[in-house]
Amino acid sequence: MIKDYRPYYIKKAWYRLQHFYIRHKLAPQLKSLGRHPFIVKPWHIEIFGGPVSIGDNITLLGCSDKKTRLTVWSDKKDIKGIRIGDHVLISPGVRISAANSISIADSCMLASHVYITDSDWHGIYDRSMPPDELACVILEENVWVGDSAIICKGVTIGKNSIIGAGSVVTCDIPANVIAAGNPAKIIKHLDPDKPITTRKDRFADTDKMTLALVSAEKEFLEGNTLFGWARSLFFPEKE
């Protein structure tokens, strides 16, 4: 891990800049944004259309080479759009594209480059126009979707289930299983006797977690100076 040479007050100013961008640029594009969002590099999060609703304690990550995109394209009124629950993790490069309704429940985790869509976007026989039928996608509570997986229209994934990396999900997946492949098929059932700890379970006490993170960050950056940070930028040393 590369050492962070920034003094704590510089890093705190960086967080304030991100919060300013979220409040004045990102949040106005959303139908709603819940409490305590943890959004990293929000200028690499792209919102198109709406409605897009996000719950409490979201972890939403952007990256310069992996834009995260939440998109609603439709000429129909009163669609549900994209709805994201509490304590959801969305990694860099995720694309969620809705023509009608995509629902992601509490504590779901989406790894990098996951693609979720509720439409084919073109008709089968008339490819100059979008399809007439409307579909939806539902991820129930605590679903984990692996890197580069694709979730297709009309799919429901049951509670606690895991989708393997690179999988293509074309039909419903029941609760408490691991599914993988193209098309994705069940390869394992989760042990019903083993308890599952969700992100909501782990991070429910937001104030306690915030204090712990601030304390750890202060300790990690202790002794850093403005001069040392500048030197690391222009004359980096091999660690």
Task: Give me the residue spans of the domains in the chain.
Answer: 1-30+205-239, 32-194
pLDDT value at residue 1: 56
pLDDT value at 194 more than 90: yes
On the question of pLDDT at 77 being above 90, the answer is no
* Residues in Cβ contact with 117 at an 8 Å cutoff, skipping those fewer than 6 apart: 96, 97, 98, 102, 137, 150, 151, 152, 153
Lowest mean pLDDT among 9-13, 153-157, 185-189: 9-13
Tell me the percentage of the chain whose pLDDT exceeds 90.
74
pLDDT band at 203 (very low <50, low <70, confident <90, very high): confident
Q: Identify the helix (H) or strand (E) that includes residue 207.
A: helix 206-220
May I ask the CATH class of domain 32-194?
mainly beta
Are the beta carbons of 142 and 198 closer than 8 angstroms?
A: yes
Cα 153 to the chain's mean position, in Å?
A: 19
pLDDT at 213: 84
Which pLDDT value is given to residue 214? 85
pTM summary value? 0.91
| Structure-token pair, residue 35 | 């409490």
Strand partners, 145: 110, 163
Write the pLDDT tens digit of every residue in 98-111: 999 999 999 999 99
Query: For residues 42 and 16, is the Cβ–Cβ distance under 8 A?
Result: no
pLDDT computed for residue 232 by the predictor: 87
* Least confident window among 9-23, 38-52, 123-137: 123-137
Lowest mean pLDDT of 46-55, 56-65, 230-239, name the range: 230-239
* CA distance linking residue 105 with residue 109, whole number of Å: 10
